[in-house]
Amino acid sequence: MTPLLQVRGITKFYGARLGCRDVGFDLYPGEVMGIVGESGSGKTTLLGCLAGQIAPDAGEVLFDTRADGPRDTLTMSEPERRMLSRTDWAFVHQHARDGLRMGVSAGGNVGERLMAVGARHYGEIRGQAADWLGRVEIPDDRIDDRPTAFSGGMQQRLQIARNLVTGPRLVFMDEPTGGLDVSVQARLLDLLRGLVREMGLSAIIVTHDLAVVRLLADRLMVMKDGHVVERGLTDQVLDDPQHGYTQLLVSSVLQV
Amino acid sequence: MIELDDVSKTFTLHNQGGAVIPVMQGAGLRVARGECVALTGKSGAGKSTLMRMIYGNYLAASGRIMVGEVDVAAATPRDILDLRRHTLGYVSQFLRVVPRVPTLEVVAEPLLALGHARDAALERAGTLLARLNIPERLWQLSPTTFSGGEQQRVNIARGFAHAYPALLLDEPTASLDAMNRETVLCLVEEAKAGGAAIVGIFHDESARHRVCDREIDVSGFTPGLS
């Protein structure tokens, strides 16, 4: 099977300061990979490089396109990459307001993504938007409300609906449950797990929450100071960490 | 079906002066289809450690751990995930689930992950939960709110939902009442009859004698003890 994503030697400097260095991995269809590390470890820089939001100084990101097989998204033309980010990729931001249009209704936020990939029939767009709002548990009667009137958890679910309505194959998530109440986090985790399984999505989740990756990710990479220090099966890395830094990270978690 | 050769394990504690602790050495084991082998030895001898290595949860330092055609000690994470999905089941002592997911779904999940039809998977899950005396009114609730004994039975139901050709059981009868213990032992016997190769830890001696064909004392693999 061809990996959906093949990442090779991704390196990014901010001036003299290292963002991330020589990161590589393969991600297969249906796989969920977690990237953990503390603030400043380079995990968000890496995610930005993979999703085409930050230009790395070196490396390749080969994405298995529907039409032409694996292609380096870093050397693609800007319109090509933009199209891919509409049809095949999704990006769930930590702060929902970064991924939503706050002045547009909930239904409009979801419908807009459909229109961006060519949907034109108003009734169908509204129908699909309503269907997706239902799937992320936003009540019918809120479809015409703006996200500014939503709670944090609802905004995050709306962002997920907006991202997944076009049936992407790869989802990038940056701290998707960060800043939410624990009970809301649980609801979101349940939702994400179900969607990943039903839609056969591949996902890359950046987080510092080890409980989140244990429940969501098949595989794990641990980053420190811009480098990947350990990688493997999620439960193996968390239960039998090999690197000193991972051992420290795991033993620092408060038990509840 | 399960074959271990010369397996060893060390823990290196980087944050405690880099102390290297050898915990297992020269471990060997053969379990055929339809056979149940008990791991014995006193607490701390390494029974759970050995079981976790077979599951790929702990990394072996050296040796070969064959489960079917896969060497767990050398396989990629992707191959181990595939092995766990299709071939190798594990009933641990702890239930780890996403909060809010109903018990019925938790138990059906291994079948859903294999692509079984939803109705059939849920029906199988219901049958197992009923056999293990989890009242039907609890099936739509998350097991995170259940008592310890109920969680353990949910874990067992989940472990037996799919007929894994290889199965690891860590204390499946601990803290169960007589009736549920009987059900679990019947499930083990059914799995054996179905051709499963089973490795189990049973502190309950009479349970061990009833379902296990052989015993392996892991103290023989503990460095400094043998």
Task: List the single residue in A with minimal CA-CA distance to B113.
Answer: A197
- Angle, to 10 degrees, between the axis of helix A152-164 and the axis of helix A106-116? 20
CB contact under 8 A, A190 and B77: no
Per-residue burial over B4-29, b = 16 or more CB atoms within 10 Å of its CB, e = otherwise: bbebbbebeeeeeeeeeeebbbebeb
Per-residue burial over A199-209, b = 16 or more CB atoms within 10 Å of its CB, e = otherwise: eebbbbbbbbb
Query: d(Cα A49, Cα A215) in Å, to the nearest integer?
Result: 25
Query: d(Cα B54, Cα B32) in Å, to the nearest integer?
Result: 15
Say how many C-beta atoms besides its own lie within 10 A of residue B225's C-beta: 13
Nearest to B59 among A193, A197, A242 (CB): A242
Return all residues near A152 (Cβ < 8 A) that are at least 6 apart: A96, A179, A180, A181, A184
CB contact under 8 A, B98 and A186: yes
Cβ pairs bridging A and B (under 8 Å)? 56
Query: d(Cα B21, Cα B10) in Å, to the nearest integer?
Result: 5
Provide the 8-state DSSP code for A39: T
- Angle, to 10 degrees, between the axis of helix B148-161 and the axis of helix B178-193? 10
Task: List the single residue in B with minimal CA-CA distance to A243.
Answer: B14
Strand bridging mode A89-92 / A32-36:
unpaired
User: B78 contacts in A (CB within 8 Å)?
Assistant: 28, 31, 219
Nearest to B58 among A190, A239, A243 (CB): A239
**pLDDT digits over A141-189, tens only?**
999 999 999 998 899 889 999 998 988 999 999 988 877 777 677 777 7
Q: Is the predicted pLDDT of residue B86 greater than 80, yes or no?
A: yes
User: B118 contacts in A (CB within 8 Å)?
Assistant: none
Look up residue A15 and give its two tokens: 């001036």
One digit per residue, the tens of pLDDT, for chain A of length 256 reads: 899 999 999 999 999 999 999 999 999 998 999 999 988 899 999 999 999 999 999 999 999 999 899 999 999 999 999 889 888 999 999 899 999 999 999 999 999 999 988 888 888 999 999 998 988 889 989 999 999 999 988 998 899 999 989 889 999 999 888 777 776 777 777 778 777 878 888 999 999 889 889 888 999 999 999 999 999 999 999 999 999 999 999 988 766 4
The interface predicted TM-score of the complex, written ipTM, equals 0.91
Nearest to A110 by CA among A101, A121, A118: A101
CB contact under 8 A, A236 and B101: no
Q: Is the predicted pLDDT of residue B225 greater than 60, yes or no?
A: no
CB contact under 8 A, A186 and B14: no
